[in-house]
Each structure stands twice: as structure tokens, then as C-alpha cells.
Structure 1
Amino acid sequence: MKKTGIAAVVLLVAGAAVTAGAWYTGTQLETLLPEKIAEANQELARQLPGSEVQLSLTSLERGVFSSVARYQLDLGELAHEWPASELVLVEHIEHGPLPLSRLSTLRLLPVLSHSQTRLEETALTAPWFRQAEGGEPLRIQTTLGYDLEASVRLEVAPLRFADGETHLSFSGFQGEFEGSAEQVTGSGHFDRLELSTLGEQPTRVGLQGLQVVFDRHKGPSGLFLGEQSVTLERLDVHWPGLEPLVLTELAQRDRLSQTDDLLAADLTLELAGLSYAEQPLGALRMDWSARDLNAGAIVALADLIASYAETLESDPEHEGFSHAQEQHLKAALESLLDSRPSLSLDSLSLKTANAESRLSLQLGLSKPAMGEALPPEVLIQQLVSRLNLQLDLPKVSIRDLVGYQALFDASLDPQAVAMEADMLAEMAGDMAVGMELATLQGDTLQTRLDYADGQVTLNGQTRPLEEFLAMLGLLAGGGVAIE
């Protein structure tokens, strides 16, 4: 056979294989799409308990090499003030194994499908189309592998909106995500979002540099473990009657991990800079952690809370847990305390203009004896296995915080406020030392508290828990009865 004949045979065989694969892919979509929509509605019901939000497949026009699917997202009561409640999405689906658009970019890995989704212009979305200045306000590209792992690229077009006294400017959003039943990863960002109102009392809120990054995988307990971060470069607030407020480098980072049947969680909240009227005020950071959390108990508590939220949505007059819910709650709490979990504020730091204050708190828990009600001091002794608190509060921090009131109230005399700040800082220090709640190290108030085995050590002095509770009661002015 001549080479040209061999080539023709190869092309025919390849073409037949691709056609057969594309036809098979099309038949798979007819069963796959309804399943995925059902899963999406289950997730919507979980995230929005009692809501009427519903996703549906309104049509599927199947061809050999491609199909067109139309979806409708009914927002229900969420859109009661809008001209309509339905969002319509149109998805053009290229069948695998080798979609033409992927071949044209030399991506040769076989996939189940590759699709382009757009938002259809309706009474609800017409203003969005106008704001996008004739472009597509929303574009979604999705590649679905034969292992049902999806890669998604999401683009929200830049928007400009002006309606009377309200102005909105948005730079657009871009995000890339990958997900399967076992893992979800992704990142997204936008450069700028600004909302302002005109009139007698103009306002403006501006956000710059928002970034979201997450990497989660399903753990043995069914919870999604891993990390997530949300950062914002800058937040500007201009409010009537106030000077400009600026927050810089805001961040939230969290991590959840599991070893055997125990969870560990970490959370960091950070504000790198805060200024008012162009004057720096300080910064704030909090680091939280939890260890030895029973995974099954956490799942049970989450399910119980979701179930109770659904009950409240359907019956707002409902009060309290049912007997069955109370039993589930009791069992979950017992399992949680059985693992002797610990909760910690590892660090809370507050920077003012001239000083930095720090606080840390570690709390260890254990399961108390179940049965009849226990006196407060006995319950604390059994529930709290250990407690450690450390506080360092410079008097300068107190002066700074009190002195800031002159910034927020222009009618105040700055010198008078400064004198008041000095006086209050000294008074606070004298009271804390006099009540034995703190010691004075140089110009810094320090508190050190340790509790374990029924004994409390406060700033070097040890006393039984009952005596310590009585002392706190006297300081509070109400007293504590110890039987």
C-alpha cells in the first residue's frame, strides 16, 4: 500500500475514534449533568438553609461533537426587590476526548469535555450588561476530565455604574480553580473596587488588591482540610463627619489538619497599618489555635447547628432544641471533651503610636463528671485542666489609646486630652497593682496567671481555686458564695 493510502487509513481510523469518543461523551453528559446539579442543590441547601435558591437544567441540545446546555438559577426570596429572580446561564460544551479549542492550543490530553459558559441577558441581568459596556459580564471556562476533576477559569468583566447619587467602579475579577470530590484548590483576585455616594453627605469606600488562595482536600472525617488565605492591600473609608480612615495589609489565614481522629486548627488575623486623618494609629495581629479536637464531635456539632438553622428558617417561632437534639448535643460535647482539647490565643499584639501590648491565653479542657449539677468551683476545676494567661501592657499604650480621642473629636483640646491620658494611665496602673491583678515592671503592667489541679498562681502568689473565685467576686462587687 502506498504511503498516501496508509495515511488516509490512519486519518479515517483516527477520525472514527474521535467521532465515537465524542458521541460517547455526549451520552455521558446526559446522566452526568443532572447528577452534578443535584449535588449543587444539596450544597446550596446546606449553605443557605431554608432558602428557595434552586439550580435547574432547562434544556440540553446534544450533538455529536458539541452540546448546548441552559441552566436557570432561581434566587427566590433573595431577589424580592429585583425585576426578576432567575439567572440564565448558557453553556457551549465541546465533547471529548479531543475538543477542537484545546487542540488549537496544542493541549492534547484527552478530557471528557471543555465548555464556555456565558450569562444570558434577561430583565434581571440587563443592567449588568449595560455596566459592562456591551461586553460579556461573566465568562466561565470549564474543562472536565474523565476522572471528573474540573478546571475552571472565571472572569468577571470590569464594571462602571452610575445611578443618580451612587457610583460603582470595579476593575474585574479573575480566578482559576481546580476541584474534584476529594480536593479543591484555586486563587482569585481583583485590583480595585470603589463605591461612592454623592449629595449633602458624600461617602466613599475603596478596596485595593484583594487576593484569595485556598488548597483543601477531604480528610478521613469528611471535613475539608488544608489552608486558605484572604488578603487585602488597602481599605479606604471616607464617611460624613469623619476624617479619612485607611487600613493597610489586612489578612486572614487559616489551616486545618487531622492526625488519626484529632483535628488541629490555626487562624491568623492581621492588620499591618491603621491611620486616621493621615496620622498612623497602630497595627493589630491575633494568632489563634486549637488542638486535639475530636473530628467526629466537630462534624456532629456542625450537623446539629445546620439542622437547627433549618428549623428556625422554616419555623421562626421555634424555641430551643428538641429532646433528640439535646441528646445529640450532649453526646457530641462529651466526645469533644474526652479528647482533652486545648484552645489558645497564642498572641494578641496591639501596636499604638509609641508602644506595643501583648496578650496570650492557653486553655486546656477535660470532661467533667456527668450527672447532677455541680457547684461552679467544682465544675471549673473538672472542666478546666489548665489555664495560662500572660499580659504585658505598657502605660504608654494606655496614654496612646486615650489620647486618640482628640483625633476623633476636633472640639477637644489636645493638651487637655494628653493630660487626661497621663492621669488615666497612672490611675489604671495604681489600681491594677493595688488589687494585686498586675505587677509593675519598669513602665509596663504585667499579669501572669497559671491554673492547674485546683491551684491558681497569680503574679507569683498561689491560692486555692475557691479563694481565687471569692477574691474575683469581691473585686467585682458582687461576691461569690462558696459552700
Structure 2
Amino acid sequence: MPSNTIKILAAVSLLALVALTVMPKVVGVGIEDTTVTNLVDLIPLQARDQVTITSNRFDSGWFSSSAVIDVDYSPFGTILGALPIAVQIILDIQHGPILFTPNGLGFGLAYVRIIPKLRDGELESALSQLPFDLPGVDIGLLAGFDQSLRVRLEVAPINYSDSQGHLFFDGLSGSFVSHGDNSAEFSLSMGKLEAEENGSTIGFTMSGLELTSSTSQLNHLLAPSSATLTIPRIAGGTPHPFTVDGISAESRLQTSTAGAAQTDISQRLEIASIDSEFPLNSISWTSEINGIQNHLFQRYYGLLAGLQTQISVPASPATASIQMNQLSQEPMLVLARNRLVFNNRIAASAYDGNHSIDLSIDWNGLPELDNITRLNLNTAIDALTVKLDVSLDLAAIMRSPAAEMVDPYVQQQYIRLDHGRILLNGSVEDGELVLNGELIPLDQLF
């Protein structure tokens, strides 16, 4: 019996040793076959026409491989003289399952050290003229057994001084995690950034930056997602010194409650404190766009692709003009035919007073419209519901350049006064304009 146990243990150990020996080669073959495909799969379908990924070289060994990949990103084609962003990515790949990472021993399918390099000679030449060396960039990718990808980014600090001034950058770190179900999270943290000119008060300081985002489906542009940005403080010197504290921004995208084929987008921007020569002390802005038709985004990216095609394969001026006109009309027609709700709220402190503006626009859509050129103004107004509420601090406005406009506007009943507030309430509904409770015929305005 003991001898059988020893034989079983020996066989298992031998199989494990064979697996550990053979698996790196199997992983290497798989990496060579799927590297470019996997990179393309990470890009949303709507943006793939803007990115070109080609394998320049791939050298595969038993325990490691190396590859060179060229990436060209053309978000706007060559519109307005814009050139594609060209990057060469050098990959130094360890084959799993046992991996040696900067954080120690790890386990997974592969660990990749990524070295990015610009392929733009003019930009490289310009960067070489800087009086200091560019910071080192360390990028590592760990491919897990569970189909996850974990990317780590580190950018080294900069501390440079000369007779003209100094530049301090406290470094940057980031991480990206893609899971087997294609959900993903991204985070970026930047340290203090400071630049100052010697012998003057000209300078700029950013105390830091935090950025996080997540998506339920990485390669789908309209999948539910969110992003947040925070900057504790930004300060600048002459000629217009300022200090801005508590900057935060948030964006969310989710499937609309009106239907799976629609998307809701919400955004928020807040600045808690502003100290400058200008009268604005703080601001908060929240906006929502509800019920966006998903195929509107498809038309938009189709328009971009059409623009790039026109540039790369130019037709005669007359033909190009007709084709571009047709392409641009398609998104406008989708927008005009379908319902859309737009809500905006702005709250601000200025001239030592608090003010707010609420604007709601409900576009009911014109589903029977088949050509954007047939859009009738009166029909469009009938399909539109607008509500506007403005509330301003009277004492603050009387300290502003707009003070002399208050009395005339009150006399003309454009605004009204109530308990120290300037109020304006307006709406457009069913083709009628109501301002502060008074009906105003629209034919007076058009």
C-alpha cells in the first residue's frame, strides 16, 4: 500500500512537472495567435474604424516571447489637418503559469511588460528639446486564468530646477482591470504638479488628481458606465491669481427607463470654492439627457467614418458635398423623430449671493417626419415643451453690472421681485408661451 501511494505521488508530480514545462509553450502559441485580436476586442465597435492595430514582429520562445505592435489612432481622420496618433508598443512577455512580476512571484497565463514609443518624428524631436528628461514609464499586464486582464501603470516623478524656474511632478499611478464577463474598472491617481518662474509670481499648482471609471461591458460604448474626477485644489499666480478648491465631476450612462433601445446620460460638475478677482465664488451644474435613441450614436459614428472615407478617397467636390450632406442629415433626422428629455440645473454663488437656474426641455419628437429638410418651425414648436425657472439674489444683482437692468425689466414684467429674490418663470407648451403667468402670443416673436 505505501508503495502504491509513493507511485501515485510520483506520477502526479511527474505530470505536474510536465504540465509546468509544456504549458509555457502552449501559452506562447496562444499569445502569438490572439494578441492583435484581443486588443481589437477591447475597443468599442463604434470606435474600431478609428484605430488600426498591426503586428510588426513576433518572436516566440518556450518560456518568453517578444512582440512589436503598431497602433494608429485617427479620431478625426485628417480633418482640419489633424494627423493620426502613431505609437509603437514593444511587448516583453513571460509565459505562465509561474510569473516573476515587479511585485514578486505571481501566477497566471502571462505577464507582459509594455514599452510604448512614439512613431511621430516631429513630436519626438520636439520632446527632445525639453531641458529635462521625460519621466520613466512602467506598464505591466497580468493575464489571469479567469480571462481577466490587470494593467498597472507607473510614471516616475520629475523634480527639475534651473535659473528660470522649477518644475515638480509627484508622479502618476494607474490601474485597469478587465474581467472575464467583459466588465472593467479603471483608476488613475496623480500627485502634486507645480511650476513656477523664478523672480516672479507666475506659477501654477495642482494638488493632485483622482480619476475612476467602470463599465459593465468594455467593448460596448453604450453599456452602463460611470466616471468620477476629483481635484482638491488648483492655484495660479499673476497676471490673474486664483485658487479653486473642491473640483469634482461625475458622469453616468445607463439604459433608459423608457426602453432598452434608449440611453440616459447624467453629468455633474461642482466647484466648492473660487477665490479670484472675478465675482464667481462657487458653482454646481447638473445635466441629464434622457431617452437618447441608441441608433443615434450609430449614425454619429457612421458620420465620422464617412468623413474619413471622403478624406482618404476624395470624390469630386460636387459629389462629396452631396454625400456629406446626406450623412449629416441622418443623425439629425433620428434626433428630430424621437422623444428626448433634457434637464439642466445650475446653482452658483456670485457677488455674495446665491442664484439658481432650472431648465427642462421635453422634445416629443416627430415620428412621421421622413426628411429633415421638411421640418416645419410651427410643427416643431408644437412638439416642444420648455420650462425655465430663474431665481437670483436681488442684493447681489444690485452689486453687479446688471443692476441698471432690474427696474426696466420689472416694469416690462419680464421679471418679478419676491422677498429679496428676482424671479423669472417661463414655459412653452402646446405652442403657447407663458412668462411669469402671462400668455404671450408666439407670433409676436416669429
Q: How does 1:104-119 map to 2 (within 5 A)?
A: 105=105, 111-118=108-115
Q: Does 1:15 align with 2:12?
A: no
- 1:449 counterpart SS class: strand
| 2:82 aligned partner | none
What is the SS of the residue equivalent to 2:216?
A: strand
CA contact (8 A) 1:343 1:362 kept: yes
Residue 434, structure 1, aligned to residue 411, structure 2: yes
Q: Specify which of 48, 61, 64 is matched with residue 63 of structure 1.
A: 61
CA shift in 2, pair 1:257/1:38, >3 Å? closer
**What is the TM-score with the length of structure 1 in the denominator?**
0.75
User: Aligned in 2, Cα 1:383/1:86: closer, same or farther, shift over 3 Å?
Assistant: closer
Cα drift, residue 202 of structure 1: 5.6
RMSD: 4.1
* TM-score for both structures, normalised by structure 2: 0.80
Matches within 5 A, 1:43-442: 46=47, 57-71=55-69, 89-101=89-101, 105=105, 111-118=108-115, 124=124, 131=133, 137-145=136-144, 148-162=147-161, 165=164, 167-179=166-178, 182-198=182-198, 203-218=202-217, 222-239=221-238, 241-242=239-240, 244-259=241-256, 260-276=260-276, 281-305=280-304, 307-308=306-307, 311=310, 322-345=321-344, 347-352=345-350, 354-368=352-366, 370=369, 376=377, 378-384=378-384, 386-402=385-401, 424-425=402-403, 427-442=404-419
Secondary structure in structure 2 of the residue aligned to 1:367: coil
Quote the Cα distance in structure 1 between the aligned partners of 2:72 and 2:327.
34
Which amino acid counterpart does residue 67 of structure 1 have in structure 2? Answer: S
Q: Alpha-carbon deviation of 1:15?
A: 1.1
Gaps of 5+ in 2: 79-84
1:178 Cα deviation after fit: 1.2
Q: 2:422 aligns with which of 442, 445, 448?
A: 445
Q: Given that residues 184 and 218 in structure 2 are in contact (C-alpha distance below 8 angstroms), is that contact kept between their aligned partners in structure 1?
A: no
Number of residues paired by the alignment? 424
Distance 1:333 1:61, change over 3 A: same
CA deviation map 1:230-268 (0-9, x unaligned)? 1111111113x33x2011111221111114111111011
1:29 to 27, 31, 38: 31
Give the Cα separation in 2 of the matches to 1:13 and 1:176: 36
CA spacing shift, 1:54–1:256, aligned 2, 3 Å: closer
Does structure 2 conserve the Cα–Cα contact (< 8 Å) formed by 1:283 and 1:352? Answer: yes
| C-alpha distance in structure 2 between counterparts of 1:24 and 1:129, whole Å | 47
Question: What is the CA-CA distance between 1:166 and the residue it aligns to?
Answer: 5.6
Deviation at 1:69, TM superposition (A): 2.9
SS at match of 1:235: strand
State yes or no: 1:462 paired with 2:439: yes
User: What is the distance in 2 between the residues matched to 1:44 and 1:340?
Assistant: 25
State the alpha-carbon separation in 2 of the partners of residues 398 and 321 from structure 1. Answer: 52
Query: Alpha-carbon deviation of 1:293?
Result: 1.1
The 8 Å contact of residues 386 and 429 in structure 2, kept in 1 or not, is answered as yes
Distance 1:451 1:256, change over 3 A: same
The CA deviation at 1:314 is: 8.4
Choose 66-75 or 205-214, whichever is displaced more.
66-75
Deviation at 1:66, TM superposition (A): 1.9
- Name the CA shift for 1:100/1:247 in 2 (closer, same or farther; >3 Å): closer
What one-letter code is carried by the residue in structure 2 that aligns with 1:248?
A: D
**For residues 311 and 118 of structure 2, what CA distance do their matches in structure 1 show?**
36
Contact 1:357-1:397 at 8 Å conserved across structures: no
CA deviation string 1:413-469 (max 9, x = no partner): xxxxxxxxxxx52x22212211211111122110011221122221111233324x2
Change (3 A) 1:280 1:449: closer
Structure 1 residues 160 and 113: alpha-carbon distance in aligned structure 2, compared to 1, 3 A threshold: same
Task: Flag the 1:262–1:43 CA change in 2: closer, same or farther, 3 A.
Answer: closer
On the 8 A contact 2:337/2:365 being kept in 1, the answer is yes
Percent identity reads 19
